């Protein structure tokens, strides 16, 4: 009774709060705003607000399992007396011409926990400040004492006369810097970067010393750390993929970095700069648990990716529930064999279900060279007349490791000269293994050597390029006491390339690369010849690459000498043809024939697509793809690091500039294949009707993929006979088979919705869905089991607008699951909404929910709950 009185009083509140209802006398026209008001209005227009925030107060009466009610309601916070769901972003650009801020606040369990930030920037001609979540850097000409990291702190810049400036940074680290080497696997991927939650945009990627561009050459999943190159870009086993990036770590010890840089120009191109940076580590802290939530993905072959790899042992269990019901590992779900933060369900999980995971993220191992670090660097820029200049960099470092001190001095010199048609650049590096800099992303390593580059332009459309890199590279293996164990290697890399690119003529490129890398345990030799041609013939664009690689590597590990030879012949072609405006063809194909120590294999990738619109109302698409890495070793499907040592990838995986992966090297799978085919059609015979059809088959095998064969046929239609009536229906049939023989899943789905309104003051929506699933599970002992489910639901919403500011509404839903984990679920909601402003609403509602499980072992999770809710909602 008390709950009902509170609810009735709350419903009456807005009538007493309303300042003016529609129909009242209009206010007189306001006078013109003074200039001060206009100025403040201009500043307000520079602020952008987006997202939503809902603050609620709730009264509950719960009979039955309280935890199950909590998991199934209000996104896993159903039993709380007060709730706050926030997903807001506020941005201001050049307020008062000097102030910029970016505020992102979210507390959802369905997303990245690091996707919230507060950054405030102040900028004038002579002074700049950035506070909060920043990307701090002390860059410039010095690559020895510079750094760039994602941090939480303060960055200041003061500019003086004559171009002098002073930079200052103080902050705590939010992410770890890593640079790893991954051997190629005769395919375009996928490749695992040994980390999840990679900082968006922090990565840089090189393949055999050539930097690649995101979107054009590769794509990356920042949550899982999966890298895939574009179709047809086969990365051979002799190639080295070097990836530098930052990664967030949940259970990591945040360090502190303080630094400053003073730049003094002396005129006529002479410049001097001094940089001082220190990095301090912090002690260990207790491990924290985390909760991740998902809506069901349906397809059992769709992966669920946790935000972080979980730590699973006797002291740190992993809990997984679906709509509050506990799930059993290897029965209901299983983890990927390689990706530690990925799991799959063995059955269909509808999109209305909430999947909840509670776990302890693995502690971040950090850098292999732990301890405090200090660096002081001196940079000199010296001009050489009108031809170019020379940059000299000297830096001293001191690092603490296991109580001992490691000191080193590094020196580099670079020059760039332009003499007529000739451009020449050279670099000298002397970076000893005892030089330990502040951790940062980049491709720096501990080495001593030189690099020369020369380009001669014969004309505006032809040039010849030559480069030579000779160095002794230090690879860190481990630390002992206060010292460092180093494995050096001598690397010599030489390249020639001729380029011809004249308008309306074929573009040609010929190149040759010679490489030798020798260490105490291996000796690798490598020669690669490549030619490329591309041209446009009106509506037809074509391109072709042909390459040849000859390589040998001799290994003497454990006193046993062995030699491996590689003969690789590759061919790639691509074409785009658009004969008419409504028809287009796209094709790409690549093939590599690999002879490795007498063992022959073939890697291939191909994709062909057609887009055709015979009429403006009909669009047809067809695509077929196939890829296979070819090589499948019997006892080595996966390799950590190692592989062919071609010099480009040596000296990473933990050095004096950045950390490496937890396993000491990149992870490569040598068994990757997949094929797919799809047909899609969209027909819009008239404006009110749209019909879609698709048939998709997809098969993927190997690590980092689902190892499944899936076939999906779906059709949908939307009909809107009137502006205020819309009817939508969708049918789909899905068949999934797991290639490992661990089971299969058959799913039939039907969804329909009816939307009426707004019609006068009424709005009505109604939906129905039916899902039939049958899953076969095979455990590790070969025992077979079958899971069958029928999921049906009916639901709707009725809304009546009292006036433009007020409306009442009713929601209801009833669903029933038959078979495995059978249950009945009923939900009803009656409420009132008062719009205080266009973006702010006050909502009062009363809810009833009842869950009944049919399985006797699950009936302890039954509940019946009644709630009264008062919520203040902000929507922008």
- Encode pLDDT of 528-537 as tens digits: 999 999 999 9
Distance of alpha carbon 672 from alpha carbon 627, whole angstroms: 8
Q: What is the mean pLDDT of the chain?
A: 85
> CA-CA distances (angstroms) from residue 491 to 466, 512, 526, 774?
17, 17, 11, 58
Nearest by Cα to 718 from 703, 710, 728, 731: 728
Is 774 in contact with 786 (CB distance < 8 Å)? yes
Tokens coding 636: 């080595």
Residue 472: pLDDT band (50, 70, 90) is: very high
Distance of alpha carbon 108 from alpha carbon 201, whole angstroms: 23
Is 453 in contact with 486 (CB distance < 8 Å)? no
SS3 of 388, please?
A: strand
Tokens coding 635: 């006892």
Best-predicted range by mean pLDDT (101-115, 663-677, 782-796): 782-796
SS3 of 170, please?
A: strand
pLDDT reported for residue 635? 38
Is 758 in contact with 765 (CB distance < 8 Å)? no
E strand intervals along 723-805: 725-738, 743-759, 762-778, 784-803
Pairing of strands 784-803, 82-95: unpaired
Q: What is the per-residue DSSP string for 632-652?
A: --SS-SEEES-S---STTTT-
Sheet with 204-207: list strands edge to edge. 175-183, 240-248, 204-207, 210-212
Question: Does residue 353 surpass a pLDDT of 80?
Answer: yes
Count the alpha carbons within 13 Å of 782 in the hemisphere toward its beta carbon.
0
pLDDT reported for residue 481? 43
pTM: 0.81
Is 633 in contact with 670 (CB distance < 8 Å)? yes
pLDDT reported for residue 140? 61
Distance of alpha carbon 734 from alpha carbon 746, whole angstroms: 6
pLDDT reported for residue 755? 96
Best-predicted range by mean pLDDT (94-98, 431-435, 495-499, 745-749): 495-499
**Which phi and psi (to 5°) does residue 161 adopt?**
-70, 150
Distance of alpha carbon 338 from alpha carbon 640, whole angstroms: 12
pLDDT reported for residue 177? 85
Tokens coding 588: 């790409």
How do residues 295-327 score in pLDDT, each as one tens digit? 888 878 788 988 888 888 888 899 999 888 889
How do residues 180-211 score in pLDDT, each as one tens digit? 888 888 888 788 888 878 888 889 999 998 99
**How many C-beta atoms surround the C-beta of residue 851 within 10 A?**
23
**How many C-beta atoms surround the C-beta of residue 591 within 10 A?**
17
Element (H, E) at 68: helix 66-72
Pairing of strands 240-248, 175-183: antiparallel
**Domain locations in the chain as residue ranges:** 290-361, 673-821
pLDDT reported for residue 249? 72
**Torsion sign, CA atoms 703, 352, 52, 869:** negative
Give percent of the chain with pLDDT exceeding 90.
Answer: 43
Q: What is the dihedral of CA 400, 401, 403, 408, to 10 degrees?
A: -50
pLDDT reported for residue 23? 46
Tokens coding 442: 């980049």
Cis bond before residue 845 (omega within 30° of 0): no
Distance of alpha carbon 67 from alpha carbon 411, whole angstroms: 62
Distance of alpha carbon 629 from alpha carbon 359, whole angstroms: 35
How do residues 426-468 score in pLDDT, each as one tens digit? 999 999 988 988 888 888 899 999 999 999 999 999 999 999 9
Distance of alpha carbon 518 from alpha carbon 376, whole angstroms: 33
pLDDT reported for residue 692? 97
**Which phi and psi (to 5°) does residue 569 adopt?**
-120, 125
Distance of alpha carbon 90 from alpha carbon 100, whole angstroms: 11
Distance of alpha carbon 679 from alpha carbon 623, whole angstroms: 7
Question: Does residue 40 surpass a pLDDT of 80?
Answer: no
More confident residue, 133 or 742: 133
**Cβ neighbours for 530, distance < 8 A, ≥ 6 positions apart:** 509, 510, 511, 512, 513, 545, 546, 547, 548
Sheet with 218-221: list strands edge to edge. 218-221, 226-229, 191-192, 667-669, 638-640
Report the phi/psi class of residue 818: left, alpha or beta, with left for phi > 0 and alpha for psi in -120 to 50.
Answer: beta
Distance of alpha carbon 553 from alpha carbon 548, whole angstroms: 17
């Amino acid at each position: 009774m008390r709950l009902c009185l509170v609810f009735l009083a709350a419903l009456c509140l807005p009538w007493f709060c309303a300042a003016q209802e529609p129909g009242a006398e209009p206010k007189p026209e306001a006078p013109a705003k003074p200039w001060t008001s206009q100025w403040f209005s201009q500043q307000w227009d520079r602020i952008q607000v987006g997202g939503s925030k809902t603050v609620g107060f709730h009264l509950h009466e719960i009979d039955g399992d309280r935890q199950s009610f909590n998991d199934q309601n209000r996104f896993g916070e159903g039993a709380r007396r007060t709730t706050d769901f926030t997903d807001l972003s506020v941005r201001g650009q050049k307020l008062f011409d000097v102030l910029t801020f970016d505020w992102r606040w979210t507390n959802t369990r369905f997303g990245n926990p690091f996707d919230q930030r507060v950054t405030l920037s102040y900028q004038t001609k002579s002074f700049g400040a950035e506070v909060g979540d920043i990307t701090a850097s002390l860059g410039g000409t010095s690559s020895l004492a510079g750094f760039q990291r994602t941090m939480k702190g303060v960055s200041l810049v003061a500019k003086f006369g004559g171009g002098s400036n002073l930079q200052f940074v103080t902050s705590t680290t939010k992410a770890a810097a890593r640079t790893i080497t991954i051997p190629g696997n005769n395919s375009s991927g996928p490749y695992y970067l040994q980390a999840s939650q990679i900082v968006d945009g922090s990565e840089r990627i090189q393949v055999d010393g050539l930097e690649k561009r995101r979107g054009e050459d590769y794509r990356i999943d920042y949550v899982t750390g999966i890298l895939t190159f574009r179709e047809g870009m086969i990365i051979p086993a002799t190639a080295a993929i070097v990836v530098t990036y930052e990664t967030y770590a949940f259970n990591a010890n945040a360090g502190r970095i303080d630094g400053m840089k003073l730049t003094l120009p002396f005129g006529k191109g002479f410049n001097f700069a001094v940089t001082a940076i220190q990095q301090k580590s912090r002690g260990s802290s207790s491990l924290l648990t985390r909760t991740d939530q998902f809506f069901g993905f349906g397809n059992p072959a769709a992966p669920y990716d946790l935000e972080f790899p979980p730590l699973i042992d006797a002291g740190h269990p992993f809990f997984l529930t679906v709509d509050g019901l506990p799930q059993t590992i290897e029965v209901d779900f299983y983890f990927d064999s390689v990706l530690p933060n990925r799991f799959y369900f063995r059955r269909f999980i509808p999109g209305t279900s909430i999947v909840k995971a509670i776990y302890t993220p693995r502690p971040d191992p950090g850098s292999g060279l732990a301890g405090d670090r200090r660096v002081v660097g001196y940079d000199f820029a010296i001009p050489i007349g009108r031809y170019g200049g020379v940059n000299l960099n000297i830096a001293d470092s001191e690092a603490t490791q296991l109580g001992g001190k490691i000191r080193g001095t590094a020196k580099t010199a670079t020059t760039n000269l332009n003499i007529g048609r000739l451009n020449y650049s050279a670099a000298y590096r002397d970076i000893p293994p005892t030089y330990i800099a502040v951790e940062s992303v980049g491709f720096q390593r501990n080495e001593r050597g030189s690099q020369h580059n020369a380009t001669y332009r014969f004309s505006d459309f032809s040039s010849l390029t030559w480069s030579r890199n000779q160095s002794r590279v230090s690879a860190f293996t481990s630390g002992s006491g206060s010292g460092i164990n180093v494995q050096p290697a001598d690397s010599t890399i030489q390249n020639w390339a001729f380029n011809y690119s004249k308008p309306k003529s074929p573009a040609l490129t010929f190149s040759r690369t010679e490489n030798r890398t020798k260490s105490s345990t291996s000796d690798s030799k490598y020669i690669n010849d490549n030619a490329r041609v591309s041209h446009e013939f009106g509506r037809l664009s074509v391109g072709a690459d042909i390459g040849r690689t000859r390589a040998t590597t001799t290994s003497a590990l454990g006193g046993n000498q062995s030699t491996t030879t590689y003969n690789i012949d590759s061919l790639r072609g691509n074409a785009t043809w658009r004969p008419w405006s409504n028809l287009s063809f796209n094709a790409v194909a690549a093939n590599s024939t690999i002879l490795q120590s007498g063992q022959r294999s073939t890697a291939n990738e191909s994709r062909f697509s057609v887009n055709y619109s015979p009429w403006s109302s009909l669009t047809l698409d067809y695509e077929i793809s196939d890829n296979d890495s070819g090589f499948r070793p019997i006892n080595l499907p996966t390799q950590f690091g190692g592989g062919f040592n071609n010099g480009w990838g040596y000296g990473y995986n933990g050095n004096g500039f950045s950390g490496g992966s937890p396993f000491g090297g990149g992870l490569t799978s040598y068994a990757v294949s997949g094929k797919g085919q799809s047909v899609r059609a969209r027909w819009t015979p008239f404006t009110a009707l749209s019909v879609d059809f698709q048939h998709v088959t997809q098969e993927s095998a190997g690590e980092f993929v689902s190892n499944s064969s899936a076939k999906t046929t779906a059709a949908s239609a939307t009909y809107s006979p009137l502006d205020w009536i819309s009817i939508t229906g969708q049918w789909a049939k899905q068949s999934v088979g797991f290639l490992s023989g661990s089971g299969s899943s058959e799913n039939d789905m039907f969804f329909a919705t009816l939307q009426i309104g707004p019609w006068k003051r009424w709005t009505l929506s109604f939906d129905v869905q039916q899902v039939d699933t049958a899953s076969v599970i095979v455990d590790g002992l070969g025992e077979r089991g079958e899971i069958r489910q029928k999921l049906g639901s009916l639901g709707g919403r009725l809304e009546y607008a009292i006036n433009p500011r007020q409306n009442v509404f009713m929601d209801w839903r009833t669903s029933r699951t038959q078979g495995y984990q059978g249950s009945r679920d009923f939900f009803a909601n009656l409420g009132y909404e008062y719009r205080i402003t266009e973006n702010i609403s006050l909502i009062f509602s009363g809810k009833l929910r009842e869950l009944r499980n049919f399985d006797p072992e699950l009936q302890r999770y039954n509940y019946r709950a009644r709630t009264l809710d008062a919520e203040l909602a902000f929507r922008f």
